[in-house]
Amino acid sequence: MEPLEEYKKPIESFLELDYLSPKKEIPFTKICCPSCDTHVHSDNLNINDKIAKCGTCHIVFPFQQDISSFTQVSQKIKQEILRPEGIELFYYKNELDISFDQPLVWFEWIIGSFFALIFFPVLAITIEEGFNIYAFLFFGIPMLLTALYFIWRSKHKIFLNIDRQHLNIQWRPNKLKKDKSYPIQDIHQLYVKKRKDVGYWDIKMIVDQGQGHKHIRLCSVNSVSKAKFLEQEIERHLGIQDIVVPEED
């Protein structure tokens, strides 16, 4: 049974979901005159130019520094990454399940490219000279089996589960890959690194297992938006503040 199918979300559990928590407090501030410390009325604030005029002592002063925190908040909102197509999320109480397609590996690309290149020449020869049983056995059956393989291959998934104590990753089917589990207390940071050799993006973790920090590849995806979204959601769920890592792209 696939991991996401092990949970049944009753209707009443919607009230218990973490993402339905009360709204966060909206930050605010009052602009005070640096000369007489009087609160400046909003009518005397030029929001566009960040210039204010005190109604008491009538001095003019900039207030860019007073609202710098608001600028940082707006930048974070602009950087929010929306969920790309192909990634499924499932929240249940304090757990997060994510599933997405397994990217093709290098030998699958080679096999697919080879049969794609010979398909049209074989088709043209068949149309011109008619059906040939030997050509069908030598080319037709392998191409048919390859097409069926890639149809089946499209169902391969990667499952990420984060519970109260561990981040678990599973490949289904596993294709000789072991399921892995990492204590969430050991995970310090996530970041994205492009693999230029195959054109994929790795989601990597900085993990402290008692012998110093280690960089571990969690999984790979075929687009930067998917990689950044997975990094964003996992860090958000684990309460990790995103920082710049020298190795990331």
210-247 residue pLDDT tens: 778 899 999 989 889 999 999 999 999 999 888 888 87
Could you identify the residue written with the tokens 């860090």?
A: 235
Among candidate residues 204, 202, 190, the one with its CA nearest the CA of residue 234: 190
User: In this predicted structure, what is the pLDDT of residue 34?
Assistant: 87
**Global pTM?**
0.56
User: In this predicted structure, what is the pLDDT of residue 172?
Assistant: 85
Q: What is the mean pLDDT of residues 108-128?
A: 68
Distant-in-sequence contacts of 108-111, Cβ < 8 A, 24+ apart: 108/150, 108/153, 109/198, 111/146
User: In this predicted structure, what is the pLDDT of residue 37?
Assistant: 86
Q: What percent of the chain has pLDDT over 90?
A: 25
User: In this predicted structure, what is the pLDDT of residue 246?
Assistant: 83
Q: What is the mean pLDDT of residues 158-174?
A: 90
CA distance 72 to 62: 18
Dihedral, CA atoms, 109, 231, 8, 103, nearest 10 degrees? 0
Q: What is the mean pLDDT of residues 43-63?
A: 83
CA distance 35 to 56: 10
User: In this predicted structure, what is the pLDDT of residue 6?
Assistant: 44
Q: What is the mean pLDDT of residues 55-81?
A: 69
Is pLDDT at 14 greater than 70 in this prediction? no
Q: Which two tokens stand for residue 52?
A: 């204010």
Q: Kindly indicate the confidence band of residue 38, based on its pLDDT and cuts at 50, 70 and 90.
A: confident
Could you identify the residue written with the tokens 């979901």?
A: 17
CA distance 220 to 194: 9
Distance of CA 42 to the CA centre of its chain: 41
Distance of CA 67 to the CA centre of its chain: 31
Quote the Cα angle for 191-196-198, to 5°: 105
Q: What is the mean pLDDT of residues 164-171?
A: 92
173 or 48, greater pLDDT: 173
* CATH code given to domain 85-102+158-238: 2.30.29.30
User: In this predicted structure, what is the pLDDT of residue 50?
Assistant: 78
Identify whether the C-beta of residue 158 lies closer than 8 Å to the C-beta of residue 219.
Answer: yes
Is pLDDT at 125 greater than 50 in this prediction? yes
The DSSP-derived string for 45-102 is EETTTTEEE-TTT--EEE-TGGGHHHHHHHHHHHTPPPPPTTEEEEEETTEEEEEEEP
When the pLDDT of each residue in the chain is averaged and rounded to a whole number, the result is 77
